[in-house]
Amino acid sequence: MADMQRVIYFTQRPHGMVTRDAFEIREESMPRLSGDKDVLVETVYASVDPYMRGRLSSGKSYTAPFEVGKPMTGAMVGRVVDGGRTALQSGEWVFGSWSWSEYAVLPETALRRLDPSLPPTTALHVLGLTGLTAYVGLTKFGRPQAAERLVVSAAAGSVGSLAVQIGRLLGLTVYGIAGGEDKCRWIEHQLGAEKAFNYQAPDFADALARGLDSGVDIYFDNVGGTVTDEVMRHLNPHARIVICGQIALYNQAQPTQSRPLFSDLLVSRAEATGFIVGEHQEEFPKALKRLQSWYRLGQLKVEESIVVGFDQWIDAFLGLFSGANRGKAIVQVKDA
């Protein structure tokens, strides 16, 4: 094993659109086991997620901002290189949260051994926080009733594509919104949405109004901005809006103004709730059981957008905001 490894540092807060200038790759010495409970892992798969953009800013957010001058951190799937005196064996797959680095030393308690009967990357999406976010958001805050109409924005994204499918499995009629005709056809044909609307199309607002002429009972919102402005015109009475993300706004130096959405809520006696899944851990066991069961039965399609190589890590993160991805963005840092 090498003496040195690469680590990605956060070096400068972005103002507006985040660029490579926010990051720096540094070489540093390999971390070493220092206590009885320590484990050395190599990073095989790294998750890059839109919420991380919020942590790059110093403003009020739901997670603490990343510290300038410290390594980036995130959810990872790795392999044990040296289990030390712990119960973990070399070669075992583990899940955890650590630095954007090739290797990391963590206490055994910070690692979760993965079920070898499942593909390891599922811990980063359908059977991880992504799947939990879609399931808990939709069930706890959407409170779906049989045969209701669900609209999902960023429906080709990691959380959105699962929200579409979970909605369908729960018996809802599901509409997706995404950027581009290809994504829309994929959402209809592969994810089973009733219809998908391309927000880049010039007639988006009209197409949405026609398609949603029976109204919206649940809106699972990942994007905010003008897409949300349009969806909010079509609420049914007592609709529920699940605010999961507002990716359209994350990179704006000056947020765009919005229609008066509280008027929509009043007129429709509707409810909008922002949530982060980490605050609802009591829901996790039941949610994971259900997600696993659906996944094993082949009822949840998962699209992975995997880029290979440590060098691609920063670009994979930046790509989240260009709308190019479909499904879950993952960096494969080492050979699996």
List contacts with a copy of itself (CB under 8 A).
Answer: 54, 60-62, 221, 224-225, 228, 237, 241, 243-246, 249, 255-276, 279
Q: CB 240 → a copy of itself: shortest distance, Å?
A: 10
Q: How far apart are CA 62 and CA 67, in angstroms?
A: 15
Closer Cβ to a copy of itself, 4 or 266, answer by number: 266
Q: CB 221 → a copy of itself: shortest distance, Å?
A: 7
* Beta strands 149-153; 216-221: pairing state: parallel
Q: How far apart are CA 159 and CA 135, in angstroms?
A: 9
Q: CB 236 → a copy of itself: shortest distance, Å?
A: 11
Closer Cβ to a copy of itself, 210 or 259, answer by number: 259
Closer Cβ to a copy of itself, 108 or 264, answer by number: 264
DSSP string, 94-108: EEEEEESBSEEEEEG
In single-letter form, the type of residue at position 86 comes to T
Which helix (H) or strand (E) covers residue 59, if one does? none
Q: CB 62 → a copy of itself: shortest distance, Å?
A: 5
Do 71 and 2 touch, CB atoms closer than 8 A? no
Closer Cβ to a copy of itself, 61 or 190, answer by number: 61
Q: CB 247 → a copy of itself: shortest distance, Å?
A: 11
Closer Cβ to a copy of itself, 229 or 303, answer by number: 229
Q: How far apart are CA 303 and CA 288, in angstroms?
A: 18
CA angle, residues 46, 50, 55, in degrees to nearest 5:
95
